[in-house]
């Protein structure tokens, strides 16, 4: 009897799941007709199509504003699965969502310009934008006026001005970076197996160096070692004893933002996976074939190490974008800010009235993560929806008050309506400041293991291993932008498990 009910429930859940997917696909393909943008309404310009801006767009009632989105990227990128794209475990298009599909789901139409904002003029309230498309030989430049501006342009890769980094390293921030790395890995492998290569050259080509032991560096190193163990080693056994991954970190340990127990777990897992971790080692110079670093020994003595490499991935965190630096220089209240636009508790850029900032380009006292950026975007959507509602209600109260003299016979009813509107106004005007709620940190560390620092009631739950890996996968799958993304990612995981990663070099 129990078995019979278990079967029935499983059958119903599968049916329910399929119905949900079907419904989501139908909704996506058959959006309602959109309301045309209303130029008489306030113009809200949103810069960027990353975590902060897209979370704002998702929840924003676009019929309240004349919304314009500007970004050099016409898609949203699900960065948590970007390290998996470097080895082909996940195909890059599976974690991209076209901004046009996102905007098509909105009630009122939103304008999108694929362009880069090159400067912001807070005095004249305009942003200068340029289109660097290859389709035209010249660069198109124009200005877009705004009433309200949201800056969500993220950050760029930090290099600390270390010589050679920009010229010789691969970064891991954008989809193009992941594609570059994927090509470069296979280029190194194929060149290493070329006829008559010297042993030193083979060792150099097959030495993959990752600089930066933050979550980006750790996740990439884990994915790379998996790629080697699960695919390259089987396809090209003759190089199996020479492929090597080294992770260099300036601090005494990797993953400094995770709890001590998880740091130790990660380091011991890397040891088992044969990933060489060099801590207390700071890279000082990079050439086309070597990395020069300074190692600080336990006695404080410094020693220079030179490591030949085939692939170098630079993952040392964020730096402020030029357009943001330029805006900061124009606002006196920003003169002490170094890491981005200082914002108040409503995410208003300090020293301005109508510019807000979200995500990695804003300094609100939180880590530069997708989690923070998306909560900030959601908060701004609520704030802007409330602001529009407030303005509508205030106008309604003004109209009702004016009609009191015109219709004295109806005064009791009009007064009741005024009271009701004022009650609503008080309720929605009471917007609490932004408060970040940390759900936890997750990172993949290779060999189908992950580490997780999860906020649990008022405490913290730290776990690492294979079960955490399953949790990591399901958490990120559920966070993927759309049903389409989810199906594509599941398909990629299954495909790689069954047939291995695709090692052809595009």
**Site residues, ligand NAI (CB under 6 A):** 162, 211-217, 219, 248-251, 256-257, 282-283, 315-318, 367-369, 441-443
- What secondary structure does DSSP assign to 61-113, as a single string? -GGGSEEEEEES-SEEE-GGGHHHHTTTSS-GGGGEEEHHHHHHTSSB--EEE
What is the nearest approach in angstroms of ligand FAD to the Cβ of residue 250?
A: 19
Write the CB contacts of 112 (distance below 8 Å, at least 6 apart in sequence).
68, 69, 70, 71, 74, 99, 100, 103
Q: What is the SS3 assignment for 237-295?
A: HHHCCCCEEEEECCCCCCCCCCCHHHHHHHHHHHHHHCEEEECCEEEEEECCCEEEEEE
Residue of 97, 116, 226, 273 that binds ligand FAD (CB under 6 A):
116
Please count the CA atoms within 13 angstroms of the CA of 494 that sit on its side-chain side.
6
- The 76-95 contact track toward ligand FAD, x by CB under 6 A, reads ---xx-xx------------
- What is the C-alpha separation between 198 and 82, in angstroms, rounded? 34
Q: Does 48 bind ligand FAD (CB under 6 A)?
A: yes
Residue 472 backbone dihedrals phi, psi, to 5 degrees: -55, -50
Number of residue whose CB is nearest ligand FAD:
50
Subset of residues 304 to 343 that bind ligand FAD, contact rule: CB under 6 A: 321, 323
213 binds, among ligand NAI, ligand FAD, none (CB under 5 to 8 A by kind): ligand NAI
Q: What is the CA radius of gyration of the chain?
A: 26
Residue indicated by tokens 């113009």 = 43
Nearer to ligand NAI, 113 or 366 (CB): 366
Nearer to ligand NAI, 72 or 368 (CB): 368
Nearer to ligand FAD, 80 or 88 (CB): 80
60 binds, among ligand NAI, ligand FAD, none (CB under 5 to 8 A by kind): none
Residue of 64, 66, 71, 337 that binds ligand FAD (CB under 6 A):
71
* Token pair belonging to 334: 């920003």
Nearer to ligand NAI, 237 or 297 (CB): 297
User: What is the three-class DSSP state of 451?
Assistant: strand
Nearer to ligand FAD, 319 or 418 (CB): 319
Q: Does 152 bind ligand FAD (CB under 6 A)?
A: yes
Write the CB contacts of 342 (distance below 8 Å, at least 6 apart in sequence).
333, 334, 336, 349, 350, 363
What is the nearest approach in angstroms of ligand NAI to the Cβ of residue 83?
A: 8
Nearer to ligand FAD, 47 or 331 (CB): 47
Residues that bind ligand FAD (CB under 6 A): 47-53, 70-73, 79-80, 82-83, 116-117, 152-154, 172-173, 216, 321, 323, 359-361, 368-371, 373
């Amino acid at each position: 009897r129990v078995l019979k009910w278990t079967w029935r429930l499983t059958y119903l859940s599968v049916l329910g799941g399929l119905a949900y997917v079907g419904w989501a696909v139908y909704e996506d393909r058959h959006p309602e007709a959109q309301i045309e943008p209303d130029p008489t309404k306030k113009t809200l310009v949103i810069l960027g199509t990353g975590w902060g801006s897209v979370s704002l767009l998702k929840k924003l009632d676009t019929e309240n504003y004349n919304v314009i989105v500007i970004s050099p990227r016409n898609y949203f990128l699900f960065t948590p699965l970007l390290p998996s794209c470097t080895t082909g475990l996940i195909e890059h298009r599976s974690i991209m969502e076209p901004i046009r599909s996102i905007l098509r789901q909105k009630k009122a139409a939103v304008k999108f310009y694929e362009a880069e904002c090159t400067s912001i003029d807070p005095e004249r309230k305009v942003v200068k934008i340029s289109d660097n498309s290859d389709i035209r030989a010249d660069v198109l430049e124009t200005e877009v006026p705004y009433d309200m501006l949201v800056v969500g342009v993220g950050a760029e890769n930090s290099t600390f001005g270390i010589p050679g980094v920009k010229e010789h390293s691969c970064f891991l921030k954008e989809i193009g970076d992941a594609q570059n790395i994927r090509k470069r890995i296979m280029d190194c492998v194929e060149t290493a197996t070329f006829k008559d290569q010297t042993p030193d050259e083979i060792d150099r080509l097959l030495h993959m160096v990752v600089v930066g032991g933050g979550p980006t560096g750790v996740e990439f190193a884990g994915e790379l070692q998996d790629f080697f163990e699960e695919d390259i080693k089987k396809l090209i056994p003759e190089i199996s004893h020479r492929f090597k991954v080294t992770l260099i970190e300036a601090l005494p340990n990797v993953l400094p933002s995770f709890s001590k127990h998880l740091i130790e777990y990660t380091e011991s897992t890397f040891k088992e996976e044969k990933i060489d971790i060099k801590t207390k080692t700071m890279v000082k110079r990079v050439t086309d074939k070597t990395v020069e670093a300074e190692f600080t020994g336990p006695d404080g003595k410094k020693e220079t190490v030179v490591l030949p490499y085939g692939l170098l991935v630079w993952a040392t965190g964020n730096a402020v974008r030029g357009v943001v630096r330029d805006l900061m220089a124009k606002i006196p209240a920003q003169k002490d800010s170094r890491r981005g636009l200082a914002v108040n508790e409503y995410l208003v850029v300090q020293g301005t009235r109508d510019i807000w900032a979200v995500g990695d380009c804003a300094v609100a006292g939180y880590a530069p993560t997708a989690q923070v950026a998306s909560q900030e975007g959601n908060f701004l959507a609520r704030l802007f929806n409330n602001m529009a509602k407030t303005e509508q209600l205030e106008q309604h109260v003004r109209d009702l008050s004016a009609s009191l003299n015109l219709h004295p016979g109806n005064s009791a009813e009009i007064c009741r309506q005024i009271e009701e509107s004022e009650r609503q106004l008080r309720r929605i005007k009471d917007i609490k400041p932004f408060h970040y709620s940390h759900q936890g940190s997750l990172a993949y560390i290779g060999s189908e293991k992950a580490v997780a620092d999860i906020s649990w009631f008022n405490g913290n739950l730290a776990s690492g291993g294979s079960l955490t890996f399953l949790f990591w996968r399901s958490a990120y799958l559920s966070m993927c932008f759309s049903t389409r993304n989810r199906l594509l990612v599941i398909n990629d995981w299954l495909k790689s498990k069954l047939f291995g990663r695709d090692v052809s070099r595009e």
